[in-house]
Amino acid sequence: MSNLIFSDSFINGEFYKTDTRFSVDDPATEKSIVNVSDIDEQGVNKAITAAQGAFSKLKATNATERSETLMRWYELVIKHKQTLAELMTKEQGKPLKESLGEIDYGAGFIKWYAEEAKRSYGDVIPATDNNHRLTSFKQPIGVVAGITPWNFPVAMVTRKVAPAYAAGCSFILKPSEHTPLCAIALAYLADQAGFVKGAFNVLVSQNAKKVGEMLTDSEVVRKFTFTGSTGVGKQLLSQCASTIKRTSMELGGNAPFIIFDNADINDAIDGLMAAKFRNSGQACVAANRIFIQRNVLNEVLEKITPKIAALKVANGFEEGVDIGPLIYPKAKEKVQQLIQDALNKGATLIGDQRDLGGSFQNPVIITNVTTHMDIYHQEVFGPVLTVIPFDNEAEVLALSNDVPYGLAAYFYSQNIKQIHRVSEALEFGMIGINEGVISNPVAPFGGVKQSGLGREGGHQGLNEYLEEKYVCIRI
């Protein structure tokens, strides 16, 4: 693993050191992995200049060249899959088997956009008279800056950088200060794959606010992409307004998971386990409010309770572990506060609530949840199953949609008419029907309402980094 652990920002194909350093810690052991350089203003400006120079070169390349470079990057990521997965588990905490899965998922974006780079088509537009020829074609938008979170430290990076490079854009990335090591490793491998120097820069810093301000204020940066909380997303959107940047924002969620009484209950439980407990519940698309039709509530609880009790909570490197630590102690404190608030307001706890120490949180079920509880309205970001009974379709649709967020939703039903009705009525950007894991590089990922703007993945993800130019020729 040590051959891909780097401790400095990566700018213009080189490592950039500063005297100020901070520790990246293992959330399982709470011990330092490495002390990394904290970027200074000079480094941020150097990255902007490097990205500007790289864009001048990159936009002159053709789609086939960029495709081949991305394929080399993909091959290197797969070659170093084990090393990257171990690094991810070390700095993020998720079980190694999940880290291995994320490397495949993250690499899938690189491969998809290596292919999609060659499919950026324009249009021949039928003219309204015989004297003109009308066409349109697409060009890269320019220098892109992005901020990524800690929960998926490889996939969140590749699904932004890969389409940007495929389009011909250079990129400046500010990864989470909790998980910068995977991002630096990815940039190093991209450089080894032949990326244009300065086309993928990584800025490591504890001061996300300052770095964000410098990037959003820059006239050179023409596009800003962010994955994180809605509150921070709103602030970044405001900052981008002064320079009229293109933006894409993948923000918070509060995903409903609905089990109708006609569902295949065993399948629904399997889907719920995946949608809730992957990455210890630390996912923006994690099932957050579990709606179970009242006449199957007891059956679902009887079947799922022993499955949850059997989940192994431990260091992600241990054999057979299902749930690793939360990212840091404050994350656990927030989960504990949400649980206690619910219990104080009449909810019931099912499961082992012993304190496991450190950032480890036992998975539990909270039943009798109402709309008056904080846990109903906030993303839990932890292994807590929040159960709300309902009586009919109209009621559960009203409850599901009565939040400011609209990222992902899930429901289980065997009634084809109901499937069509509910999928159309749910106010969410992504719907899983009889499926608990919906993310896929070839499909558009994104939300509506206060869950964000734009899409990542699919052919839509490439268009986020392209401008369309219309050409009118008089003949």
Residues carrying an active site annotation? 250, 284
Across the strands, what pairs with 470?
A: 136
What is the CA 46 to chain-centroid distance, rounded? 27
Across the strands, what pairs with 281?
A: none
CB 27 within 8 A of CB 35: no
Alpha-carbon dihedral angle through residues 235, 239, 242, 246, given to the nearest 10 degrees = -90
Mapping DSSP onto H, E and C, the string for the chain reads: CHHHCCCCEEECCEEECCCCEEEEECCCCCCEEEEEECCCHHHHHHHHHHHHHHHHHHCCCCHHHHHHHHHHHHHHHHHCHHHHHHHHHHHHCCCHHHHHHHHHHHHHHHHHHHHHHHHCCCEEECCCCCCEEEEEEEEECCEEEEECCCCCCCHHHHHHHHHHHHHCCCEEEECCCCCHHHHHHHHHHHHHHCCCCCCEEECCCCCHHHHHHHHHHCCCEEEEEEECCHHHHHHHHHHHHCCCCEEEEECCCCEEEEECCCCCHHHHHHHHHHHHHHHHHCCCCCEEEEEEEHHHHHHHHHHHHHHHHCCCECCCCCCCCCECCCCCHHHHHHHHHHHHHHHHCCCEEECCCCCCCCCCCCCEEEECCCCCCHHHHCCCCCCEEEEEEECCHHHHHHHHHCCCEECEEEEECCCHHHHHHHHHHCCCCEEEECCCCCCCCCCCECCEECCEECCECHHHHHHCCEEEEEEEEEC
First to last CA, the chain: 63
